[in-house]
Amino acid sequence: MGPFRRIVIPATWRSDILAGMSLTFTNIPQVLGYARIAAMPAVTGLYTVLLPLAGFALFGSSRHLVVAADSATAAILSGSLSALAPIGSAHYITLVSATALTVAGLLLVARLFRLGFLADFLSRTVLVGFMTGVGAQIMIAMLHELMGVQSDARTPLRQLVQIFGNLHQANGLSICLAAATIGVIFLLNRFSPRFPAALCVVVGSIVLSKYARLSDLGVSTLGPVSGGLPHFGVPLIAWSEFVSLLPIAASCVFVIITQSAATSRSFATRFNEPLDENKDLKGLWIANTAAALCGTFTVNGSPTQTAMAVRSGAHSQIAQLTFSALTLLVLLFFTGPLQYLPQCVLAAIVFIVAIGMVEIRTLFAIRRESPGEFWLALTTAIVVLVSGVEQGILLAIALSLFRHVRHSYAPHTAVLQPFGTNGTLESVPAKGGLETQPGLIVFRFCADLFYANSARFSRDILTLVNDAPHPVRCIVVECSPVTDIDYSAAEDLRSLLENLNLRGVRMFFGRVSPELKADMNRHRLIGVIGVENLFEELHTALASARQWLSQSEQSSPTP
């Protein structure tokens, strides 16, 4: 082939590039809106999808997460920094960029301490609830723009109250444009999923708005947007101001870590893809550093824009890099046409994406298979909708931990009993009156032993001993599910062994892993249990127990 090799372009690149084009024309107006929420110049919204977006795409792990301006962090900035400087002033803009730099520093610390493990505490169940709540929240937030109604409320419930109170202000043409946008996109997505429907709708609406003068008919448009490249520089502030920014930056970091992790984990689970949360922290750190040096505000993993990228056909970071490259062209040459984009069209596009975030089928599947988990998911969605994303994420982590602790606190327990002619041992849920054979009980406890469940472990064994149909002489604990014992559990186990010893009951442990044996040794339990009563296999523990039982019966005096 000579010195030149044939360049093979992956087939998915075409889909990614089209998705990046769709993201450009649907999300650029959205980030302009986020700039208004942060009380920053509109052009700084475009800066968030220039270098910060490319920075995460190149250094992050998630193939789908779109890191850009976000409503949650934008609201934190405007609500907190307005007390430190007048909104819109040069000093306010400097403080906003300094906050982004502080956020980047805290994210670097989080990366060094590998805090990406926080995402592991978000179960699939509560992730579905989280995304459902975010989707519902976004749909409500878009309603006033769909109808051309004024609303300055921040929470979904207040937004609904304002919308219904101002229905007389609704613009019929805006409603028709929004309905047409939703209908066209739904039809095109239904019959031609790969077609960039949102892109065509945005371009068509801009042309229609310009030449039909929709603004003169009461249809709100974005208005003039300045262009040009950002001015790079390090935001310099006083030490006292930096101290004041720390709690604000910490709030943003909490939202960024948890929301980005929740979003990236959700889509990685959906597509069965690998994910490195600590590498994502590196990408978020680089993205926010770029945002600070560009003079814009804090960026975050956006559930809305990520869902839009996936819906547009994105498979990899090529879509984000395409988005960033096209944003550069828009900044240089095409900011003028954006002023004609009807806000109701933009709201309709975002509304469709939000509908896709509400996983109704998955919720019904969860309800069918596990009603308890369904209520956990629904509770998470309601909290996100009523209280906000930050509280919803915190609840999602708490509920995931609660669900795990609940199962560990009350695990499955069983008595192994012989079945069939060959005497194979099978599990039967543990309850009083069961035994493996006269004088012998094989007990399985399906969780690690820790302070919350060790009393249950002791209670279950004593119940089996007290209610057994024949006097119990020995117990074999099948330890394969047990890999760890904490201090409290070790003390309870020591007391149980002493109690059983007074009753003349001997305790054997089978399938003891090296980790469990190390824990027993650390808590000085081996001397109490007896090293001769610990076995790596269940059959050897059972054979030893039966031999001891036979010897004890032979040595017992005949009544």
Domain-embedded: residue 476: yes
Q: Identify whether 150 is part of a domain.
A: no
Helix (H) or strand (E) holding 300, with range, is strand 300-301
What's residue 119's pLDDT?
61
**Same domain for 500 and 442:** yes
> Is the pLDDT score of 8 beyond 60?
no
pLDDT higher than 50, residue 559? no
Alpha carbon distance 391, 396 (integer Å) = 8
Enclosing H/E stretch for 301? strand 300-301
The pLDDT of residue 7 is: 45
Clarify whether residues 305 and 241 are in a common domain. yes
**Domain for residue 196, yes or no?**
no
Whole-angstrom distance, CA of residue 440 vs CA of residue 169: 80
CATH number of the domain enclosing 471: 3.30.750.24
**130 has a pLDDT exceeding 50:** yes
Across 213-255, the runs of DSSP E, i.e. the strands, are none
> What is the residue-wise DSSP string for 489-551?
HHHHHHHHHHHHHHTT-EEEEES--HHHHHHHHHTT-HHHH-GGGB-SSHHHHHHHHHHHHHH
Q: With respect to residue 7, please indicate whether it lies within any of the assigned structural domains.
A: no
Average pLDDT, the chain: 87
**185 within some domain:** no
Whether residue 417 sits in one domain with residue 397: no
What kind and span of H or E run contains 209? helix 197-212
Q: Are residues 383 and 479 in the same domain?
A: no
Q: Which residue has the tokens 């709201």?
A: 347
**Same-domain status, 452 and 379:** no
pLDDT bracket for residue 59 (50, 70, 90): very high
Same-domain pairing of 469 and 415: yes
> What is the distance between the alpha carbons of residues 328 and 310, in angstroms, rounded to a whole number?
22
Mean pLDDT of 224-252: 89
259 in any annotated domain: yes
Whether the full predicted model's pTM is greater than 0.75, yes or no, is no
Over range 336-342, report the average pLDDT: 87
- Residue 369's domain spans which residues? 12-136+223-344+359-403
Amino acid identity for residue 259 in this structure: Q
Helix/strand/coil for 268: helix
Statement to judge: residues 259 and 372 lie in one domain: yes
Same domain? 458 vs 397: no
Residue 166 has pLDDT above 90, yes or no: no
Distance (Å) of CA 206 to CA 336, 376, 547: 11, 43, 87
Residue 247's SS3 state is helix
Residues 378 and 493 both lie in one domain? no
- One-letter amino acid for residue 346 of the chain: L
- Sort strands 474-478 and 506-510 into parallel, antiparallel or unpaired: parallel
Q: Tokens for 492?
A: 């309870």
Residues in the chain: 559
Give the single-character DSSP code of 90.
H
Overall number of domains in the chain: 2
Residue 430 in this model has a pLDDT that exceeds 90: yes
Tokens of 459: 């209670």
Work out the pLDDT band at 479, boundaries 50, 70, 90: very high
Q: Are residues 241 and 124 in the same domain?
A: yes
- For range 201-210, the mean pLDDT: 91
| Least confident residue range of 101-115, 152-166, 447-461, 521-535 | 152-166
Each residue of 29-55: pLDDT tens digit?
A: 778 878 877 889 889 999 999 999 999
Rg (CA), the chain: 31
Residues 6 or more apart whose CB falls under 8 angstroms from that of 137 comprise: 156, 384, 385, 389
| Any domain includes 66 | yes
Of the candidate ranges 71-75, 258-262, 484-488, 500-504, the one whose mean pLDDT is the lowest: 71-75
Mean pLDDT on 434-448: 94
pLDDT surpasses 60 at 420: yes
If asked whether residues 227 and 259 sit together in one domain, one would say yes
Q: Is residue 339 part of a domain?
A: yes
Handedness of CA 295, 296, 299, 302 (dihedral sign): negative
Please determine, for residue 535, whether its predicted confidence score (pLDDT) is greater than 50.
Answer: yes
- Max CA-CA distance within the chain? 109
